[in-house]
Amino acid sequence: QLDCIVCVAKTSETWSKIIYIKEDKAAQSLLNKMIHTSLVNTTNQVEVLQRDPNSPLYSVKTFEELRLKDKLLKGVYDMGFNRPSKIQENALPMMLAEPPQNLIAQSQSGTGKTAAFVLAMLSHVDPTNKWAQCLCIAPTYELALQTGKVIEQMGKFYPEVKLAYAIRGNKLDRGAKLQEQIVIGTPGTVLDWCSKLKIINPKKISVFVLDEADVMIATQGHQDQSIRIQRMLPKECQMLLFSATFEDSVWKFAERVVPDPNIIKLKREEETLDTIKQYYVLCSDKEEKFTALCNIYGAITIAQAMIFCHTRRTAGWLAAELTKEGHVVALLSGEMTVEQRATIIERFREGKEKVLVTTNVCSRGIDVEQVSVVINFDLPMDKDGNADNETYLHRIGRTGRFGKRGLAVNMIDSKHSMNILNQIEEHFNKKINKLDTDDLDEIE
Ligand code: ADP
């Protein structure tokens, strides 16, 4: 999809948009890694497709069943893991099987993929051999560092195993032989280390991990580099690929780099509007929307609320106006670094602020389960100005499992926004009632 946009991009403005989209995918992923400090719950079942349907399907309910080295088991428990996550129940026995099996696994962020492949890499290493044996590639410098941290943490009691970072800035001389058994890096540097610089001997790699495949293919050049690295590895090398989403493009890529794969998929929890009370408020402009918001402010801050604006500018303006009124609000905005965003989301999750003002781009994919009020200060729309139903559902929908009652208020200030509201009503076949902000008994 992105490649198409790249082909037709003519103006510098379009280019900056494209770069922004790409960065956003990687930033989003990093943000998710940073804020998922515990497993994401899911009631969905894992789908498993075995390469050899006749071989028995193993799944484990405990880490002991995996017969891990004591040092590794200690590391796992030290991280606070009591039992394998849903995806790990099936993925771990496959990854640790003899002979090694290839795997393509897809599940949303926070379901335990990274922990799974890190454990697999650590288990496969022979620490007496002082050369690179496991190779993991990630789409960006930051994502590589993040995964490196997990390797270091899980391998804490296994100090004989060493880790090297193949990332920009980490300069090694041509022909210098790497002693570390595990290498994590970005595709460009890893490729250089394997080919031009001959720091890694790709023929000695026995486990190859491709993390965040969906982000990887959204970045120009990464796909080719990943394929070139994969081509240098021995046939019997175990190939593992992980992705949070699975569009056709990811699938095509996965099939090219992982021969004869086993496949594990875990669907996202379905979202529904069934337990949400939806309203709209009629205003004439932005200022009136602000006044209406102030009128309902007391009612909405009984719980935690998220307020969505269409642009960073409106979000910034709104947060400033609310602050002027004496309200304590947090602002999550696109110009912030990922670290800043992670801090703000963490504070909000801990309830330090009750209201979070944000834009859509910024908050896509972030789940804050305790939020029960959503204000659409601007309604979600696509680039053609039509209702963006998917985003609407994702902003206010609840998953079956966390199906607390929720409240959504949509601010309408034009014929156009009324039109979008009508499209949303029609799409979900659910009526959205008008809210009288002078009489709030209804929502309280
Ligand atoms: P993903 O790679 O799918 O985004 P992670 O492996 O990063 O998921 O796991 C998400 C969070 O859950 C991390 O904070 C991780 O430490 C934790 N986690 C992973 N596996 C387990 C487990 N079996 N038990 C408890 N917590 C886990």
115 CB under 6 A from ligand 1? yes
Answer yes or no: is the ipTM higher than 0.95: yes
pLDDT of residue 444: 58
Q: Is 38 in the pocket of ligand 1 (CB under 6 A)?
A: yes
The residue to mutate among 81, 153, 212, 265, having the most atoms of ligand 1 within 8 angstroms of its beta carbon, is 81
Atom of ligand 1 nearest to the CA of 108: 3
What phi, psi does 361 have (nearest 5°)? -55, -40
CB of 84 shorter than 6 A to ligand 1 = yes
Atom number of ligand 1 nearest to Cα 85: 23
> Of 125, 155, 232, which Cα lies nearest the Cα of 187?
232
Q: How confident is the model at residue 39 (pLDDT cuts 50, 70, 90)?
A: confident
- Between the CA of 385 and the centroid of ligand 1 the distance, in Å, is 38
Using the mean position of ligand 1's atoms as its centre, give its distance from the Cα of residue 130 in Å. 29
Mutating to test ligand 1, I would choose from 34, 35, 36, 152 the residue with most ligand atoms within 8 A of its C-beta, which is 36
Check pLDDT > 60 for residue 60.
yes
Nearest CA to 436 out of 275, 283, 273 is that of 283
Measured between alpha carbons, how far is 93 from 125 in angstroms, rounded to an integer? Answer: 16
pLDDT above 70 as % of the chain:
90
C-alpha 403, offset from chain centre: 22
Q: Is 243 in the pocket of ligand 1 (CB under 6 A)?
A: no
The pLDDT-based confidence of 359 (bands split at 50, 70, 90) is confident
Q: What is the pLDDT of residue 27?
A: 79
Q: State the closest ligand 1 atom to the C-alpha of 83, by its place in the atom list counted from 1.
A: 23
For the ranges 39-43, 58-62, 371-375, the lowest mean pLDDT is seen at 39-43
Kindly report, residue by residue over 301-320, the tens digit of the pLDDT: 878 899 999 999 999 999 99
Confidence at 1, pLDDT banded by 50, 70, 90: very low
Ligand 1 pocket, 147 CB below 6 A?
Answer: no
**Mean pLDDT for the stretch of residues 216-236:** 94
Does 149 contact ligand 1 (Cβ within 6 A)? no
C-alpha of residue 307 to centroid of ligand 1, in Å: 29
Average pLDDT over residues 69-95: 96
Give the global pTM.
0.82
The finding on whether 112 has its CB within 6 A of some atom of ligand 1 is yes
- Whether ligand 1 lies within 6 angstroms of the CB of 81 is answered as yes
Q: Which of 8-22, 146-160, 268-282, 379-393 has the highest mean pLDDT?
A: 146-160
Range from 279-293, 370-384, 398-412 that averages highest in pLDDT: 279-293
pLDDT score at 5? 38
Indicate whether 12 pLDDT > 60. Answer: no
- The least confident of 36-40, 69-73, 375-379, 388-392 is 36-40
Contacts 24+ apart (CB under 8 A), 245-250: 245/106, 245/108, 245/214, 246/106, 246/214, 247/1, 247/214, 249/1, 249/217, 250/106, 250/213, 250/214, 250/217
